[in-house]
Structure 1
Amino acid sequence: MRLNRKKILDFFKKSESRATLILNDKSKASNTIKDALGKAITNKGELEGVWGKMVLLFGVAKDYVNGDYTEIPKRSIVAILGGLIYFLSPLDVVPDFVPILGFIDDIFILNLVYKQVIKDLEKYKAWKDAQIKFIDNVDGSATT
């Protein structure tokens, strides 16, 4: 099966447009992320090749919407949320219920988004690691 890249990218652009609107409503954005995470966990086996990337995308999206991490350009968070919206849609270019092939277009989009925002994700990961170290240090010093 050959993927129609133009069709996939056109569908993704629509997902990014929806992401721009959803970002204006913290509750909708949070629910979208939660729903996409639930779908990802349910289908983790089929997403094994992109699982680590997805965890990072979910993390930055969640932290951005919660207001914990805002040091990411708006265009990057729109692309990330757009990718999650695309992933969440069961009727995208290759419907998710098609055995074996259902997530091929989703994986393509998620990899594309990851590559687009990789520098922003590296900064986020450094920030997140620093947060964890800080909490570990606070917890460690509280017990000694």
Structure 2
Amino acid sequence: MAFEVKFELTESDLDHFRDVMRKAQSGAAKLSEALILSNAKKISQDIKGSVPEFVSERIQKLETLVAMIEDSEWKIPAEERADVLSALAYFSDPEDLVPDHIPVLGFLDDAIMIELVAEELKDDIEAFEEFCAYRSREEGRSGDAKVTREEWLDSKRRELHSRMRNRRSTRRSGRSSFRSIF
């Protein structure tokens, strides 16, 4: 028998999560990029067990954030790289809101934080996913090789980086209902 529980986070609830994120980010300032990525990957692996669907659905978003940093062809710009690493810093804090060892609920706070981060970095994630899809399509083409792989990737990457910055700038100028955690 399945049992469904739904809840709504109020603005004050979200403020609490934002405060926790800021605390984790300031504490993670002394952590290396490699450690932050390693901790995010560990959470992803740990969550892949028997967890509620709400949690498992968010793991792909966490993995996408890690891939954005590790993809050498994406060449994520420095500001966006810092934002993604800052967001991933939460997963380096061993004392998160709900201890991960608690059955069923242990990763609930992680899933909520992933969702908040994914919403804040939505434009960056969409641009990265479009870049990956473009790269896959172009790799399959066979034709005149007058344009090198690096040339077509660079062209698309520049287009997407620019769009990503423009969208983020628009959202940060007050048009977004979500208050930035950064």
Q: Same fold judged by TM-score > 0.5?
A: yes
Cα distance, 1:68 vs structure 2: 4.0
What whole-Å deviation, never above 9, does each CA across 1:13-37 have from its counterpart, x for those lacking one? 1223355555xxxxx2133213321
Corresponding residue for 1:62? 70
TM-score (norm 1): 0.70
Do the aligned residues in 2 keep the contact of 1:30 with 1:62 (CA within 8 Å)?
A: no
Tell me how many residue pairs correspond in the alignment.
130
What whole-Å deviation, never above 9, does each CA across 1:27-49 have from its counterpart, x for those lacking one? x2133213321331122133312
Corresponding residue for 1:119? 123
18, 23, 29: which one aligns with 1:14: 23
Cα distance, 1:6 vs structure 2: 3.6
15, 39, 44: which one aligns with 1:40: 44
Secondary structure in structure 2 of the residue aligned to 1:35: helix
Greater Rg over alpha carbons, structure: 2
Q: How does 1:49-128 map to 2 (within 5 A)?
A: 49-63=57-71, 66=72, 68-71=74-77, 74=79, 76-128=80-132
In structure 1, runs of 5+ residues without a counterpart are 23-27
Q: Which has the higher helix share?
A: 1
Which protein has greater RCO, CA pairs closer than 8 Å, 6+ apart? 1
Cα distance, 1:67 vs structure 2: 7.2
Cα distance, 1:93 vs structure 2: 1.6
TM-score (norm 2): 0.58
In structure 2, runs of 5+ residues without a counterpart are 1-6, 146-182
Do the aligned residues in 2 keep the contact of 1:19 with 1:78 (CA within 8 Å)?
A: no
Secondary structure in structure 2 of the residue aligned to 1:137: coil
Cα distance, 1:5 vs structure 2: 4.0
Alpha-carbon distance change, 110 to 77 in structure 1, aligned in 2, over 3 angstroms:
farther
